[in-house]
Structures are given as C-alpha cells and as structure tokens.
Amino acid sequence: MITPEVTAFAERSVLAWLATVDASGCPNVSPKEVFSVFDSRWFVIANIASPASVRNLAENSQACLSFIDLFVQKGFKVKGRAEVIARDRDDFALWAEPLEKITQGRFPIRSVIVLTPDSIEPIVAPSYRLYPSETTEKSQAMAAMKAYGVVSARWQMPDKPSP
C-alpha cells in the first residue's frame, strides 16, 4: 500500500502530524519530526515527547498521519491502526533503527509508534483542482519560496537580469 510516491513524499517532508483520539473521543494532533517508512508496509514514528499520543493509542489504536512537501503543497494522509513499541520490548531496536539513523542520537526515542495503513489518500492544495492548467509543482514551489523568502537548490529561482 505504501507506494514509492508516498515514500518519496515522506522522505522529503520535514514534519508530520499524528492525530489520535482518547477514549472519550477528544482528538489530539501532535507534530512529529522523526518518522519514516519501514519495509514499505508501515510507518514508524519516534515518540520523543508525546505522552498524549501514547496515552491515546493505549485507549484507541486508530490514528492518522499527515505529511506534505511544504513547497509543492502536496502530500498524503495515512489512516490506520497504531501500536506503541516500548523500549523494553525485544523488537524495539528493529523498529527504532530507521529513526535512530535520522536522529543520530540527538533525541531520546522513548518508544516507537508503528502505524499500519488501512488507507492512504493524497493531500493537494486547492489550486491544483481549481486551476489545473496553470498549477504545477514548480509554480507552487516558486510561489511558496517567494512568500517565505527562501531559495531552494531543488527549485532554482530564475536569474534576474543584470542592470
């Protein structure tokens, strides 16, 4: 279910949001800096400082992970069931390995949240649907870079003519 396209977007997204729900139905959305695709079948998410997410998943395993490439304004929403792998479990190191590669030991991984997808849907900015003939990934990236005042090696800004 996790296609190469989904994996590519996950790899280039610098932040994801994990949505969980407690036993009473109260939602919680928590930003996640450290997440990865694992074996093309699961998403692994580092629990660095997410007690509410872990507590909610103990009560209700339903979760949704969303991530986008901020510049092209596309990404994916992944819904499924999540399990929390505690540090004291025998298989913790296996699940934590791709996350440890990302953190290089900078952040303590308290546990690993393993999300098994039931569905994966694209997220796209409305411009792609409202103005399909003029909206491209490059046009979205160029507009975002202008708005944020940044330059990207991936999406080169056109050179300005010399005066």
Taking residues 101-121, report their average pLDDT: 96
Residues 151 and 137 in one domain: yes
Residues 95 and 116 in one domain: yes
**What number of other Cβ atoms are within 10 A of residue 73's Cβ?**
19
In a domain, 162, yes or no: no
Number of domains in the chain: 2
Pairing of strands 62-69, 16-21: antiparallel
pLDDT one-digit tens code per residue, 41-83: 999 999 999 999 999 999 999 999 999 998 899 999 999 999 9
Q: What is the pLDDT of residue 150?
A: 82
Residues 109 and 145 in one domain: no
Q: 3-state DSSP call for residue 28?
A: strand
The string over 94-116, giving b where at least 16 C-beta atoms fall within 10 Å of a residue's C-beta and e elsewhere, is ebbebbeeeeeeeeebebbbbbe
Residues 43 and 12 in one domain: yes
Question: What is the pTM (predicted TM-score) of this model?
Answer: 0.88
CB 99 within 8 A of CB 36: yes
Residues 94 and 150 in one domain: no
The overall average pLDDT reported for the chain is 92
In a domain, 92, yes or no: yes
Instruction: Record the tokens describing residue 90, joined without a space.
Output: 């025998």
Q: What is the pLDDT of residue 163?
A: 47
CB 29 within 8 A of CB 65: no
Confidence band for 156, pLDDT divided at 50, 70 and 90: low
The residue segments making up the domain with residue 140 are 126-157
